[in-house]
Amino acid sequence: MTLTLRLLRISLCWLALAGGLWVGAKALSGKDGFQNRVRQELMGAHPLVGRATQEGVTLTVEGGERPSRVTLELTPCDTGQATQLHFSATRSRDARTLEADAWPESLAGSGPSVWLPPETLMEIVIHGLSASSSFFWSLTLEEAEPGPRRGAAVHRVQESGRFTTVRDPGQSFHFALVSDMHFFLDSLRPSLPLDMLESEGMLLYGLDSLEWFRSSRDTIRHEFSLVAANVCRDEPDFVIGLGDHFDLHTLGFNPAFSNMALAEQAHRETRDLLAEHLADAGALYQVLGNWEGESGDHDPEQRAFARQARQRYQVNPRPGTPGCAGSEHEDYYRFSWGDGLFVVLNVRGYTSTSHLLGGEPTNPGGPTDFTLGDAQFEFLEESLRLSDPRYKFLCIHHVVGGNGGDRANSSYGRGGGRAASVGEQARIHELMKQHGVQALFYGHDHVFTDIVVDGIHYALPGTTSAPWRFDEQDTGYETFWKTSGHGRVEVTPELATVEFVNIRGEVLHQFTLDPSH
């Protein structure tokens, strides 16, 4: 072994030791370290709001390492007068979820707290509120078994946010679109195998990979936090996430999860980041992308790991959610808000051919192989046919076809409106024309662009933070913006306005949509 390699090995060991000691000392010392430890004891992940209805929302919270007592307080945004909720809790059929109902007759006065077991997900289903109303919520978790400590010495953690109940027809509202966060997850960080230490070249490659992961992770989270702050500053009624919220490159390219624990870690960490930074942005509706381990070509058992983890940590509409409809797997659904109908679709989950980024045989699927499947296509047709609001929007990770800058990217689903007449997307486009859909919002290509086909906008609101930005040779787009940012949509009975907003809060592009009647 060369002297250089020996020195590298010694340095690596010291760096790992020093880093571990520094992190440990930081976590255990000071006010912030103490608060982080208390939060870890009482709360597993930040509370997340979803499944908005005309009379409430579902608020989910996960217990931490120790049992806690949960208290919920609501403050109407227009009055500023806080009320504590009475609510009960019962275990669900799988014994992993608690469901709590807030009763309208108990909105005034002091309400009881609910016991939350360790590492248990609790769902608080709030109902009995007024439609078209905004509330601040405050959730307090307090240790249930403080022992000899009492009063101010009892450990507690408080989380807060804002939500709006579903708007009545005729009411104006606005919502935000975010896409392709591609969070690099600590639970999936690359490791440095011991056999790498035997080769100077492999060791340098491994250290390079670790540094790339760390710096990319930090940049992604920083940019997302800035974009999320812009979103929350506008106080939208809700946010739609257009897929690829986390990244699995450390496991391979679009891989399946090998076990349930890994899937849960990925969804839990992602949910924690989304809930922390978008707490003031209302309910979150999530679209499936192509990195969640649920593609139709994945092994069914491994796909089940990802699906169960997603349903545990996301809060998408379920069959039976008032005002909504969709799949029992919560992967495609519809909901109404004011004068708008929103149909959320899942392109990758029902496409059985493999669509990786490369040529044959690594990417046997082609631009025309994408499909919604029969049941989902019928759901889309029914959703557009049975409802006649002023505005109709489709939301999907990428169009059900491909026409990118080359064959490989087309087979990967790039191209947006350029693929309006490709494969099954041609049938969907005809449905949109027939039933007056004004816009299809999608992600996947990591840039801002807007293509109009037959009066329908194929609008891509960029990426909040993905480290890859694609050029014309990849996407085929002639006009596009490569900066981070989000989409902002203002809907009134007379007009809908869509804006592309960059990370600095500047409007890059704007277009308007006329109501269908």
Average pLDDT over residues 7-13: 42
CB atoms under 10 Å from CB of 109, counted, come to: 9
User: What integer is the mean pLDDT of 75-89?
Assistant: 70
Average confidence (pLDDT) over 281-288 = 98
Residue 166 scores a pLDDT above 50: yes
pLDDT, averaged across the chain: 85
CA 236 to chain centre: 16
- Give exposure, 59-77, as e/b (b: 16+ Cβ within 10 Å): bbbbbbebbbbbbbbbbee
Q: How far is CA 216 from each of CA 185, 189, 417, rounded to the nearest angstrom?
A: 11, 11, 30
* Confidence class for position 6, pLDDT limits 50, 70, 90: very low
> pLDDT tens for residues 375-410?
999 999 999 999 889 999 999 999 999 999 999 999
Tokens 């069914």 label which residue? 300
Q: Is 125 within 8 Å of 60 (Cβ atoms)?
A: no
Bigger pLDDT: 516 or 96?
516
pLDDT at 4: 45
The whole-model pTM stands at: 0.89
User: What does the DSSP 8-state code read for residue 323?
Assistant: T
Q: What is the largest CA-CA distance in the chain?
A: 78
Whether residue 26 has pLDDT greater than 70: no
C-alpha 139/C-alpha 510 separation (Å) is: 38
Contact criterion met (CB below 8 Å) for 187 and 266: yes
Q: Tens of pLDDT along 472-505?
A: 999 999 999 999 999 999 999 999 999 999 999 9
Beta-ladder partners of 162 = 136
As a whole number of angstroms, the distance between CA 103 and CA 85 comes to 8
- Which of the pair, 221 or 357, is modelled with greater confidence? 221
Confidence at residue 329, expressed as pLDDT on a 0 to 100 scale: 95
3-state secondary structure of 21: helix
Mean pLDDT of 362-370: 86
Bond from prior residue into 361 cis (ω within 30 degrees of 0):
yes
Distance of CA 106 to the CA centre of its chain: 33
Higher pLDDT, 467 or 364: 467
Predicted local confidence at residue 30, as pLDDT: 57
Rg (CA), the chain: 24
Can you read off the two tokens belonging to residue 114? 């609910």
Angle at 497 between CA 491 and CA 499, to 5 degrees: 125
| pLDDT at position 300 over 60 | yes
Predicted pLDDT at 96: 36
At 294 the pLDDT is 96
The 10s digit of each residue's pLDDT in 255-279 is: 999 999 999 999 999 999 999 999 9
Q: What is the pLDDT of residue 125?
A: 85
pLDDT of residue 212: 81
d(CA 15, CA 12): 5
What pLDDT is attached to residue 24?
42
Could you please report the per-residue DSSP string of 446-475? -SEEEEEETTEEEEEE-BSS-S----HHHH
Give the residue, 314 or 361, on which the prediction is more confident. 314
Is 79 a residue whose pLDDT tops 60? yes
| pLDDT of 359 over the 50 cut | yes
Q: What is the pLDDT of residue 204?
A: 52
Q: What is the three-class DSSP state of 339?
A: coil
- The whole-number pLDDT of residue 385 equals 95
Query: Which helix (H) or strand (E) is 429 found in, with range?
Result: helix 424-435
4 or 362, greater pLDDT: 362
Q: Spell out a b/e string for 436-455, using b for 16 or more CB atoms within 10 Å of the CB, else e.
A: bbbbbbbbbbbbbbbbebee
Q: Which residue has the higher pLDDT, 431 or 203?
A: 431
- Encoded tokens for 43: 């709360």
For residue 185, pLDDT over 50 is answered with yes
- How would you classify the pairing of strands 496-502 and 43-53? unpaired
Which 8-state DSSP code applies to residue 197?
A: G
Expressed in percent and rounded to 5, the helix, strand and coil fractions of the chain are 30, 25, 40
- Six token digits for residue 355: 């669509």
Percent of the chain with pLDDT over 70: 82
Using 50, 70 and 90 to split pLDDT, how confident is the model at 365? confident
Domains and CATH numbers, the chain: 36-164 (2.60.40.10), 173-513 (3.60.21.10)
Please give the span between the terminal C-alpha atoms of the chain, in angstroms, as a whole number. Answer: 78
Which residues, 6 or more positions from 106, have their beta carbon under 8 angstroms from its beta carbon? 85, 86, 87
